[in-house]
Structure 1
Amino acid sequence: MPWSRMPAVSAVSALLVATSVVTTAAAPAPAPRPVRDSVHTAGRVEDGGDVLRYSWPGVYFEGRIRGTGVGVVLDDPAADYDVQVDGATVATLVTPGRTTHWIRGLRDAAHTVRLVKRNDTPWSTSSFGGFVATPGGAVLARPAARSRQIEFIGDSLTAGYGNLSASRECDGEQLKRTTDADVSYGALTARGLRADYQINAYSGQGMVRNYNGSSPEVNYRSFYDRALLNVPGDVWKNPGTWRPQLVVVHLGTNDFSTPVNPGEPWTGESLAAAYRSAYSGFLTKLRQRYGTATTILAVGTGPFAGHVEQVVRERTGAGDRRVRLWALDTSGLDFTGCHWHYSARDHRLLADRLTAFLADLPIRW
């Protein structure tokens, strides 16, 4: 009731009423619900409370809402996204910037919603602020995590580089728009096996030597521990929920696909030796991180196949029976993605071949 319409009261009563009003108005608002409490993700994210920050390609977020619409809260000037509702892609967001993108006109019911980062943007940090419901709706409890987990480690071939392109010739803009980690062999394999997954892939990076000898001061191993790739010294803090039963390592194309340039500190022999040594050390790191029950699948193909095979043979000879070699078969691939990368068709073929190979492994799912 407005003060001007209050009935006459004594000074003491008025003071009591005023005090009561002030006390009620000063009560703190409920703390906002952390984004992580309402979405499921298996990706490497840093929890900022009201946002989740990340850099790797293929990071996805899954939620549930009730109502006729859902808003997707993003702050990302660099990456592209697909928004999926009840399993169907309903929007592709191209470098959305800072926005809440709304999907409206849904049936008034419960819906599952999924947001997935399509491309690799290691120079930028992406931020997701959660899903929000339209008025009258509600954000429901997050979906349950899957019991199976797979981690994919690699370069542009694993990231889905230019896999949707209709041509091998691509400029920078075409490459960004036609890269989709969600239809890479890793994502397809994991979803077929009903597994949560990470795609920790960085285009152009090698185990010891990057594509054409670029940026010799770093390599893939310089970035592997990070959640935010453009933040030197960043270290992803595993919340304790990421315990993959399978890790797939596909690194070596960039090390060996281009000739050693004048001025690089390599000969063919020394590069091969350094690659094998670094690869073995990296597998040791993975084994220490994830334990003896995790199967590590080392991918060997092309000019580095023999080196990977040698590393695996040495490790199994030393007693590590859960390191296996996958001799990736490239027969029948068309390599019509940007710059001779795997096409979407190639990724489907590889996912089928990998799934068949995994069926014969004693993975402790």
Structure 2
Amino acid sequence: MKRAAVIFFAVIMISMASCGGAPRTEAEPDFPMRGEVPVSEKTVRFLGRYYESEGVYYTNLSCSGFEVRFEGTELKAEFISEPTDADHNTYIHVFVDDDYSALEKTEADGTQDGLANDSRILLEAGRSTVTLASGLEEGVHKITVQKANQSSLNKLGTVKLFPGDGAVLEPPTAKEKSILVIGDSISCGSNNLGEDLAVSYSASEDGLFTMAAYAARHFGADLEVFAKNGLYTSLINTAYDENMLRYADPFNEILAPWDTERPGRQRDLVLINLGINDTNVINSSGGAYSYEQFREDYIRLIQEVRALYPDSYILCTDVSASAAQEQKAVEEYVAQTGDENISFWLRGTVYSRHPLISTHRSEGERLIRELENLGVL
């Protein structure tokens, strides 16, 4: 009977493991890896927030993606693109050996025909294998893949890497500095390439041409973007049981916990770029939601950011009618806590529409000067 009980217990444990009842253990990769290389936390370095679902790693938020090192002359990757509909296809950028010069050539004047030198790659819905680089000089290279769109438009999974006759090497190390942006459509780059380009709505948006992205490239910093169209302060605080900042991708209701205490997830700078949608919520509430309530919600957001990122410098910024309340919120928070690792920066830009890349670039230059004056990064 004892032997039968042991066998029965073993069968139960095997069954639990196959159904996800036991934690998955991932074998240590044996570098260099040749042939088909599964994408995982051990074969690439993820940029921004990510999560795993059925063996596929998703990087949905704007500017998220991954970096990989390989030796050889070419690299391909298998992706899964999941647009919300045919008007929201997924776009990515690919950079070789930290060469971002292609971004400097892109121009957009706001018209449907005014986009020039667009270096993005369009991913069709479903699975596709994409050549990330080819014809390179034989040797060791780094490939960086970053998503141009926000997660509310499309999701992006990466399945495998194909290094051709070469091999995938150990992932790159993190950059010395890092930035987290908490924002709305402005931080996603909505319509910064033009108003609803003829190809699709998502074609008009590129998160790599935003104020924070320009600053991140200037300082050589990693960039994590937590932003979506229409995001406002009280929604972050109350949409779920916990603050939205605690989840991997709450905009797609992916409530996998995002543990900021894991290595590599703390940030040197947290940039809070909210307020425009808060102003709209206040003005359309018929008095049900006031600027005073907004100020209290903004303080709650700061408190949550500080709890998750205890050593980060927090820079709050805005251009909207809510800016004065945000500045008061920062002042009240500092008075309550004595926290001196935070400030408010009023941008002088006036928007008549979602800003084009030229405006993002000029705001990026001003942000760089502000951070240099603060001694941050």
Q: TM-score, normalised by structure 1?
A: 0.77
* Alpha carbons 1:209, 1:254 under 8 Å: kept: no
* Partner of residue 176, structure 2: 147
Please give the secondary structure, in 1, of the residue aligned with 2:340. coil
Please give the secondary structure, in 2, of the residue aligned with 1:183. coil
Distance 2:254 2:92 in 1: 25
* Partner of residue 244, structure 1: 267
Offset at residue 171 of structure 1 (A): 6.6
Partner residue of 1:231 out of 253, 266, 277: 253
Distance 1:225 1:209 in 2: 13
Offset at residue 317 of structure 1 (A): 1.8
* Partner of residue 25, structure 2: none
**2:356 is equivalent to residue 327 of structure 1:** no
Q: How does 1:166-245 map to 2 (within 5 A)?
A: 168=195, 170=196, 174-208=200-234, 218=239, 223-228=244-249, 229-231=251-253, 233-238=255-260, 239-245=262-268
Offset at residue 248 of structure 1 (A): 0.5
Give the unaligned 5+ runs of structure 1. Answer: 1-29, 211-216
- Post-superposition, which runs of at least 4 consecutive aligned residues in structure 1 deviate over 4 A? 30-34, 88-91
Distance 2:42 2:198 in 1: 37
Distance 1:283 1:114 in 2: 32
**Paired amino acid for 2:207:** A
Distance 1:306 1:56 in 2: 29
Distance 1:206 1:259 in 2: 11
Distance 1:326 1:312 in 2: 10
Distance 2:211 2:75 in 1: 29
Change (3 A) 1:47 1:232: closer
**2:318 is equivalent to residue 300 of structure 1:** yes
Percent of residue pairs bearing the same amino acid type: 23
**Paired amino acid for 2:203:** R
Distance 2:209 2:141 in 1: 23
Offset at residue 233 of structure 1 (A): 3.8
Please give the secondary structure, in 2, of the residue aligned with 1:296. strand
| Higher-Rg member (1/2) | 1
**Paired amino acid for 2:321:** P
* Partner of residue 9, structure 1: none
Offset at residue 122 of structure 1 (A): 2.1
Change (3 A) 1:222 1:204: farther
Offset at residue 75 of structure 1 (A): 0.7
Change (3 A) 1:69 1:225: same
**Paired amino acid for 2:332:** E
* Partner of residue 277, structure 1: 296
* Alpha carbons 1:297, 1:323 under 8 Å: kept: yes
Residue by residue, what CA displacement relative to the aligned partner does 1:264-305 show, whole Å, maximum 9, x if unpaired?
4x417x4212211111001001111111x3211111322011
**2:287 is equivalent to residue 267 of structure 1:** yes
* Alpha carbons 1:34, 1:49 under 8 Å: kept: no
* Partner of residue 123, structure 2: 94
Distance 1:231 1:348 in 2: 32
| Larger mean Cα displacement after TM superposition, 96-105 or 322-331 | 96-105
Change (3 A) 1:74 1:253: same
Partner residue of 2:371 out of 343, 358, 362: 358
| Larger mean Cα displacement after TM superposition, 344-353 or 123-132 | 123-132
Please give the secondary structure, in 1, of the residue aligned with 2:374. coil
Please give the secondary structure, in 2, of the residue aligned with 1:205. coil
Q: How does 1:155-174 map to 2 (within 5 A)?
A: 155-165=184-194, 168=195, 170=196, 174=200
* Alpha carbons 1:82, 1:93 under 8 Å: kept: no
Residue by residue, what CA displacement relative to the aligned partner does 1:55-111 show, whole Å, maximum 9, x if unpaired?
211102111222221112211122211222232557612345312212433333322
* Alpha carbons 2:49, 2:224 under 8 Å: kept: yes
Distance 2:143 2:256 in 1: 30
Distance 1:91 1:129 in 2: 20
Offset at residue 258 of structure 1 (A): 6.8
Offset at residue 186 of structure 1 (A): 1.1
* Partner of residue 347, structure 1: 360
Residue by residue, what CA displacement relative to the aligned partner does 1:250-271 show, whole Å, maximum 9, x if unpaired?
111012147744xx4x417x42
Offset at residue 246 of structure 1 (A): 0.9
* Alpha carbons 1:250, 1:299 under 8 Å: kept: yes
**Paired amino acid for 1:144:** T
Offset at residue 234 of structure 1 (A): 3.5
Q: How does 1:104-115 map to 2 (within 5 A)?
A: 104-115=134-145
**How many pairs were matched up?**
313
Give the unaligned 5+ runs of structure 2. Answer: 1-28, 31-36, 84-89, 103-118
Distance 2:197 2:239 in 1: 25
Change (3 A) 1:232 1:98: closer
Offset at residue 341 of structure 1 (A): 0.5
Residue by residue, what CA displacement relative to the aligned partner does 1:221-269 show, whole Å, maximum 9, x if unpaired?
86332213322643223433211111000111012147744xx4x417x
* Alpha carbons 2:95, 2:144 under 8 Å: kept: yes
Change (3 A) 1:259 1:152: closer
Distance 1:63 1:313 in 2: 43
Aligned CA-pair RMSD = 2.7
Residue by residue, what CA displacement relative to the aligned partner does 1:8-58 show, whole Å, maximum 9, x if unpaired?
xxxxxxxxxxxxxxxxxxxxxx99766222222231111459532232111
* Partner of residue 121, structure 1: 151
Partner residue of 2:91 out of 75, 80, 92: 80
Change (3 A) 1:172 1:275: farther
Distance 1:301 1:91 in 2: 29
Please give the secondary structure, in 1, of the residue aligned with 2:296. helix
